[in-house]
Chains A and B, each alone.
Chain A
Amino acid sequence: AQSVTQPDIHITVSEGASLELRCNYSYGATPYLFWYVQSPGQGLQLLLKYFSGDTLVQGIKGFEAEFKRSQSSFNLRKPSVHWSDAAEYFCAVGDNFNKFYFGSGTKLNVKP
């Protein structure tokens, strides 16, 4: 069965520091992979997605993610975090039948 694991429930980083949020998935075929961000009280906004091709994908707000098939991972990175990045981040897998499976989320706190 498809599943997505985000092992870190909360992460705190200092403003200006680098960030990596982990995501591991379980899926039998080539996955469609997504990262979404949710600011407090808001819906989810797409940061980036991977369908095929280059395994390093660029997204909005300076985020990037790397698909590693051998590790079943799709980790999200940002070289320098800004205070406005404080939010909850969700990794998701989409299948060929238009269904999506979400991880439990990682809450990011940014220290001044």
Chain B
Amino acid sequence: DVKVTQSSRYLVKRTGEKVFLECVQDMDHENMFWYRQDPGLGLRLIYFSYDVKMKEKGDIPEGYSVSREKKERFSLILESASTNQTSMYLCASSLTSAAGELFFGEGSRLTVL
């Protein structure tokens, strides 16, 4: 079974702190994604990566950056956390075949005070 692991299930940070959310997948998938989930808004794509060191902006990249130094690991970085970044963050991975299905981690719930 594909496993996508997010390092932190729950985080509480203060405004202005730098936040790292880590995601690791164990099935050699080329593509990795970071989504943000808010009630009533569904999932919104922040960034995705289709190869090591490659990244593309999604629909809401402002205030976020990403890093993919190894194929299995995709990190989301909040350089200076703000209260409006309080949310559930979901990592996912997929194969490159056309619209290969997404496999999700369990999510990281971030609260910024």
A70 contacts chain B at the CB level, 8 A cutoff: no
Q: How far is the CA of A74 from the CA of B92 in the complex (A)?
A: 23
Q: B86-113 vs A: 1/0 string, CB under 8 Å? A: 0000101010101111111111000000
A100 contacts chain B at the CB level, 8 A cutoff: yes
Given A99-B45, A104-B42, is A42 in contact with B107 using a C-beta cutoff of 8 Å? yes
Q: How far is the CA of A45 from the CA of B103 in the complex (A)?
A: 7
With a 10 A CB-CB cut-off, give which of A45, A98, A99, A102 has the most chain B CB atoms: A98
B4 contacts chain A at the CB level, 8 A cutoff: yes
Q: How far is the CA of A6 from the CA of B41 in the complex (A)?
A: 11
Q: Closest B-chain residue to A34, C-beta based?
A: B101
CB of B21, distance to nearest CB on chain A (Å):
14
Q: Kindly state the interface size class of chain B when it binds its partner.
A: 20 to 34
B25 contacts chain A at the CB level, 8 A cutoff: no
CB of A98, distance to nearest CB on chain B (Å):
5
Given A43-B4, A45-B104, is A100 in contact with B99 using a C-beta cutoff of 8 Å? yes
Given A90-B43, A105-B42, is A43 in contact with B107 using a C-beta cutoff of 8 Å? yes
| Complex contact A44–B98 (CB within 8 A) | no
Q: Closest A-chain residue to B9, C-beta based?
A: A41
| Chain A residues whose C-beta falls within 8 Å of the C-beta of B40 in the assembled complex | 9, 104-105
| Chain B residues whose C-beta falls within 8 Å of the C-beta of A83 in the assembled complex | none
With a 10 A CB-CB cut-off, give which of B44, B90, B92, B99 has the most chain A CB atoms: B99
| Complex contact B42–A44 (CB within 8 A) | no
CB of A60, distance to nearest CB on chain B (Å):
12
Given A43-B107, A44-B90, is A98 in contact with B43 using a C-beta cutoff of 8 Å? no
Q: A96-112 vs B: 1/0 string, CB under 8 Å? A: 10111011110000000
Name A residues whose Cβ lies closer than 8 Å to a Cβ of B.
4, 6, 9, 32, 34, 36, 41-46, 49, 51, 90, 92, 94-96, 98-100, 102-105
Additional 9 contacts, C-beta under 8 A, given A9-B40, A36-B102, A46-B103: A32-B98, A42-B106, A49-B101, A94-B101, A98-B48, A98-B98, A100-B45, A104-B40, A104-B41
Name B residues whose Cβ lies closer than 8 Å to a Cβ of A.
4, 31, 33, 35, 40-45, 48, 50, 90, 92, 94, 96, 98-107
